[in-house]
Amino acid sequence: MIRRSFLWLLSAASLTAVMCVAARHDSALAQSKPGVLRVAMTAGDIPLTTGQPSQGGEGIRFIGITLYDGLTRWDLSKSDKAAEVIPDLAESWTVNPGDQKIWTFKLRKGVKFHDGSEFNADAVVWNLDKLMNKETPQFDQAQANQAASYSAPIASWRKIDDWTVEITTKRVDAVLPYNLANLFMSSPKRWEDLGRDWSKVAEKPSGTGPWMLESFKPRERAELVRNPDHWDKTRITKSERLILLPMPDPNTRVAALLSGQVDWIEAPPPDAVPRLKQQKMQIVTNLYPHIWPYQLSFLDDSPFKDIRVRKAANLAIDRDGLVKMLGGLAVPAKGMVNETHPWFGKPTFEIKYDPEQAKKLLKEAGYGPEKPAKVKIVISPSGSGQMQPLPMNEFIKENFADVGIDMEFEVLDWEALRTRRRLGAEAPENKGRHGVNNSWGYWDPDIGLIAAAGSFARVPVGFNWGDYKNEKADALALKAKATFDPVEQAKILGELHSVIVDDAMWVWMVHDLNPRAMRPNVKGFVQAQSWFQDLTPVVVE
């Protein structure tokens, strides 16, 4: 009797506790505030704030182009075509006709850093020294690491006058304006004022961008406020405040959005999308320069050395089924770049689901049900741009098995996989591996096509992992690199793309659709076809 009473008492106490929690619930809990945009990022920490952000594309998206400007920038105002590079802190530029390695940049006048100091040619030279000149006091290894991919083509730089800067590239390189969009200008004055200490600058950075950093707490939040004096009045932010919250777990991001703790989440998982839609959340998607491929080995021990096997692999994949599995948050690939991209060209090899043709090609190559082509691919369980790698790879493994390709995986964590890719197929660590499942971006011609396909761009100098060699591709890659007219360059890149698709250089699966979810009262966002997005027109109503 006593025991029963005790249990009843315990139950009643628990119920009362829950009711108390409910009763004391603050009705203002986790409500949107007009003018304050709260974003849950996939990163686990706030990217570096000193100028060159860490955390890859997400770092540039939320800390790079928000706090800083470059000499050029991506035009992120349109959703119906691939983002292009346009003038930013440089109003215009010219290439020396006598020596095409020499570029002259005319700088924009009247631009101020957040600390009130003036942006001019000295600031540009100081910033390039910061990234590339170890002899200068402002050189910062951490920023140099983040910028190295973009600063690599630059050989030297100098001030011509207060509003003119000359940059010389190592070789003729028409891709330079793309690279400059990711080299950000931080304030020399702020660095001096804070005792030439980059760790202090990290807490109080100063750029020329449309947002200013008000405060940040590592791994928790960064609060950015509007820069009312931004030089480009069309880019004065519509929101007063932008709060960035690191939330690496996708389910946590979804819960935070549904419970009203944030207004915007990056990369919701596909299986959460129906629930988010049901709760009237906006799901915004668009194409962007992303491809989920197998980068192939062309070494002697690789079955993929035979073009018939490469083509068969591309024809074996039911991409529509894969997209369905991903909740529609991807589109089937027809090559490295998407079909609407200006670099798509006119490939003759159509990438589609045709298992019968795949079987035929494999048979011609000497493989069949009794003697399957055995391949080993390095994959990761997660990673930036890797989408849902484990179920996707299992799906493709089944597709391959249906046509006579026996695929084995080596599963490594994301950074270990990147290390393997950086080493190239020939490295002892990659012996017996015939491909690497490393998602790829084609936001600039170099990364997307030239340095991925050129035999002169073997890793680690370029991105040609598998020792791909094609004389036609090499010639077109070098031609594109030396073509300064954007229209003509796009045409050449289209030809290059056609060559590598016809040669089935990689196995291309799908393009991610870059999903993000936001509350119904988030207005003004235009999702550009880019890894980066402009938050200046976005507002919470």
Partner 1 sequence: MFVYALRRILYTIPIAIGVSLVCFALIHLAPGDPLSSVIPEGASAEMIAQIRTAYGFDRPLPVQYLKWLGHVVTGDFGTSIMTRRPVLAEVLPAVLNTLTLASAAVLFGFALGCLFGVISGYVAGTPTDRSVAAFSITGVSIPHYWLGMVLIVIFAVNLNVLPATGMGEGGSGSFGFNWDSLQYLILPALTLSVIPAGIIARAVRGTVAEVRKQDFMQTLYAKGLPGRRVFVHVVKNALPAVLAVMGLQLAQLLGGSILVETVFAWPGTGFLLNNAIFTRDLPMLQGTILVLAMFFVLINLLVDILQTAVDPRIKRA
Least Cα distance to 295 among 83, 507, 61 occurs for 507
Stretch touching partner 1 by CB under 8 A, among 108-116, 118-126, 240-248, 314-322: 240-248
According to DSSP, the β-strands at 84-87 and 72-75 are antiparallel
Least Cα distance to 529 among 83, 181, 73, 182 occurs for 83
Closer CB to partner 1, 47 or 404, in the complex:
47
- CB contact at 8 A, 264 and 38: yes
Minimal distance in Å, beta carbon 315 to partner 1? 30
Taking CB under 8 A as the rule, which mask of x and - marks residues 398-437 in contact with partner 1? --------------xxxxx-xxx-x---------------
Neighbour tally for 303: CB within 10 Å = 25
Residue with tokens 């935070």: 256
Minimal distance in Å, beta carbon 371 to partner 1? 32
- Rounded distance between C-alpha atoms, residue 301 and residue 360, angstroms: 22
Our measurement of the distance from residue 516's CA atom to the centroid of its chain's CA atoms, rounded to an integer in Å, reads 14
Our measurement of the distance from residue 280's CA atom to the centroid of its chain's CA atoms, rounded to an integer in Å, reads 28
Instruction: Report which residue type is found at 232.
Output: D
Minimal distance in Å, beta carbon 148 to partner 1? 4
30 binds partner 1 (CB under 8 A): yes
Per CB under 8 A, contacts with partner 1 among 212-231 are: 217-221
- Rounded distance between C-alpha atoms, residue 299 and residue 297, angstroms: 6
Closer CB to partner 1, 41 or 89, in the complex:
41
390 binds partner 1 (CB under 8 A): no
Per CB under 8 A, contacts with partner 1 among 149-178 are: 149, 152
Contact with partner 1 (CB under 8 A) among 60, 256, 379, 407: 256
Closer CB to partner 1, 358 or 540, in the complex:
540
22 binds partner 1 (CB under 8 A): yes
- CB contact at 8 A, 316 and 402: yes
473 binds partner 1 (CB under 8 A): no
255 binds partner 1 (CB under 8 A): yes
Q: How many residues bind partner 1 (CB under 8 A)?
A: 58
According to DSSP, the β-strands at 154-161 and 211-217 are unpaired
- Rounded distance between C-alpha atoms, residue 302 and residue 186, angstroms: 47
Our measurement of the distance from residue 205's CA atom to the centroid of its chain's CA atoms, rounded to an integer in Å, reads 23
Stretch touching partner 1 by CB under 8 A, among 1-9, 344-352, 500-508, 514-522: 1-9
Taking CB under 8 A as the rule, which mask of x and - marks residues 174-213 in contact with partner 1? ------------------------xx--x-----------
- CB contact at 8 A, 506 and 438: no
70 binds partner 1 (CB under 8 A): no
Per CB under 8 A, contacts with partner 1 among 277-336 are: none
232 binds partner 1 (CB under 8 A): no
Least Cα distance to 296 among 171, 442, 452 occurs for 452
274 binds partner 1 (CB under 8 A): no
Least Cα distance to 267 among 440, 437, 384 occurs for 384
Neighbour tally for 461: CB within 10 Å = 11
Residues at the interface with partner 1 (CB under 8 A): 3, 6-7, 21-22, 24-26, 29-30, 44-45, 48, 54, 141-142, 145-149, 152, 198-199, 202, 217-221, 245-249, 251-252, 255-256, 258-261, 412-416, 418-420, 422, 447, 451, 460-463
